[in-house]
Structures are given as C-alpha cells and as structure tokens.
Amino acid sequence: MGRAIDVKKRQAKISEYVLANGFASVEDLMALLKISRMTVHRDLDDLERSQLIQKVRRGASAQPSSIFESDFGYRERVNALQKEALCKAAATFLSDGMSIFLDDSTTVIPLIKHFPDFKSLTVITSCLPSINEISKIPGINLIILGGEYKSKYRSAYGYFCISTINKIHADLAVLSPHSFRSGSVFEYEQQVISVKRAMMDNSEKKMILMDNSKFKQTTLYLLAKINEFDHVIIDNLVPRKIIEELKTQSKGLIIVKP
C-alpha cells in the first residue's frame, strides 16, 4: 500500500514538473527524484496512458501534437497576453440580454472578466473553471451543462451534455479550436467536436478566437470550415501568409495586438 502511494506521489511530481517546464529530459527526472532510468520510463509510460503528458525522445513533453492535447493547466499559461487581447475584442460584440455558449477552451476564459460590464447575460457552459468564475459575478444567468466529466479538460462531454445543448438556442457561440489548416479548424477528440458542433448548430451567430499557437500545429479531426463563423479573431503574430488567406476565407476577420 505504501509503495502504491509513493508511486502515485512520484508520478504527480513528474507531471507537475513537465507541465511547469513544458519539457523534461529523463536525466532531469532522474536527478529530481533520485530514481533510476528504468523507473522514469515506467512512470512516463503510465502518465502517457493517462494522457497527462506526452512521452517523446529523451524525455516527456507537455506540448500538443496531432493526437495529444496538453493538460488544461499548461494550456492556460500559453500565450496569456494574446488570449486577453482576443477576448477584449470579443467582448465588443456582447450586449445586455444576450445568451452565450462558451466552450471548454482556455482561450475564451479571459472573456469572463468582461461580463460585469453588462447588466444581464445568460452564459451556457460545461467548463468547470469557467463555471467557478462566472458563479461569482452578480447578474449572470448561468446554465451548467452536465455530462461525463473529464478532469484533464476540466469539462463535461457526452450524450447528456449534447442533449441539453439541443434544447437551447443562444445568440452567440464563442469557441476556440485546437488548430487551423487550409481554411478549416480542427480538434483533437471526437467528443470535443460533438459538443462544440452542437453549440454552433444551436446558436444564431458563431465566433472563433485563435491565438498564433493554433497555426503551429495540426490535429486529426475536422470541426468546421472557417467560413461558418461570423466573427474570426486572431492576434498579429499569426504568419502574414495565413492572415491573407483568412481575409479571403472568413466573413469577418479581426486582428488584435496584445
């Protein structure tokens, strides 16, 4: 029993270290925890199976890939200033009395700090960090979507979540994808797509926020074509070639500077 607890604590330390630093070599982890190379590899295998980190050559990474999405806590720290700027621009499209779907992305969370500027909003989400922040704001009508909770993503998914979404028609869906490529946006898991797609299908207008990191990676599953969104907000660090592409493909492109 004691050994099982030790393993759990050790793997938690490895996960925390990788998420804090973005990458950790096998040698780093051996020195940090004073354990053998074989033990490090066993722990990394366990953590990768739990989808907490990605095992790579010579160590472990928190960086996303086409089949791996980083932990919520790590994603929250990436491009924080850009996300703030995107959400400041997004807030200009809100007005009193609106109903809004918020997805599970860390990119949309800074939008919440603008909600107190309005007398009344209805916000619908399944994302626990968003729920916790919105619940502190007076005057917000908060609708919480249930479903199967996934701790890595801090959100709920599945049949019950989608069933509730399908009973609501909102004024606006505010989303952020995992990646953009060739006029389309992509996600890393089909269950995530199902929830975001339901939000889009049950909204009058759709808005997508993308910081420059969304253009540096690829993902397996198609979420939507970029021209399905009424508002597309990006930061000024997106490559110029892609900006020109978006100008021809999107309905309403806004470029912000952090």
Burial group, residue 141, by CB count within 10 angstroms (0-12, 13-18, 19+): exposed
Strands 59-61 and 54-56: antiparallel
Q: How many domains does the chain have?
A: 2
Last residue of a domain, one of 38, 63, 88: 63
What is residue 67's predicted lDDT score, i.e. its pLDDT?
46
User: What's the pTM value of the predicted model, to 2 decimals?
Assistant: 0.75
Interval 22-31: pLDDT, tens: 788 999 999 9
Last residue of a domain, one of 63, 98, 116: 63
Q: For 176-245, list the strands marked E by DSSP.
A: 179-181, 184-187, 203-210, 221-225, 231-235
Asked if residue 216 and residue 131 are part of one domain, the reply reads yes
Distance CA 189, CA 220 (A): 8
Asked if residue 53 and residue 93 are part of one domain, the reply reads no
Residue 63, number of CB atoms within 10 A of its CB: 17
Q: Is residue 195 part of a domain?
A: yes
Distance CA 129, CA 151 (A): 11
Asked if residue 108 and residue 20 are part of one domain, the reply reads no
Contacts of 112 (CB under 8 A, 6+ apart): 102, 130, 133, 134, 137
What is residue 36's predicted lDDT score, i.e. its pLDDT?
92
Distance CA 35, CA 62 (A): 21
Asked if residue 117 and residue 187 are part of one domain, the reply reads yes
**Domain CATH for 10:** 1.10.10.10
Asked if residue 136 and residue 49 are part of one domain, the reply reads no
Distance CA 231, CA 126 (A): 22
State the amino acid at position 79 in one-letter form: N
What values do phi and psi take at 221, rounded to 5?
Answer: -105, 130
Asked if residue 22 and residue 88 are part of one domain, the reply reads no
Asked if residue 211 and residue 83 are part of one domain, the reply reads yes
Q: Is residue 11 part of a domain?
A: yes
**Domain CATH for 228:** 3.40.50.1360
Q: Is residue 229 part of a domain?
A: yes
Asked if residue 215 and residue 120 are part of one domain, the reply reads yes
Asked if residue 13 and residue 131 are part of one domain, the reply reads no
Q: Is residue 184 part of a domain?
A: yes
Q: Is residue 70 part of a domain?
A: no
Asked if residue 94 and residue 150 are part of one domain, the reply reads yes
Last residue of a domain, one of 63, 87, 104: 63
What is residue 70's predicted lDDT score, i.e. its pLDDT?
56
**Residue of 201, 177, 32, 30 lying closest to 42 (CA atoms):** 30
* 3 state SS of 122: strand
Distance CA 231, CA 227 (A): 9
Asked if residue 241 and residue 131 are part of one domain, the reply reads yes
Intervals of the chain under pLDDT 70: 1-5, 50-51, 63-78
* Token pair listed for 152: 């890595």
**Domain that includes residue 250, residue range:** 79-256
What is residue 218's predicted lDDT score, i.e. its pLDDT?
76
* Token pair listed for 159: 């049949």
Q: Is residue 73 part of a domain?
A: no
Interval 151-193: pLDDT, tens: 878 899 999 999 999 999 999 999 999 899 999 999 988 999 9
Asked if residue 131 and residue 45 are part of one domain, the reply reads no
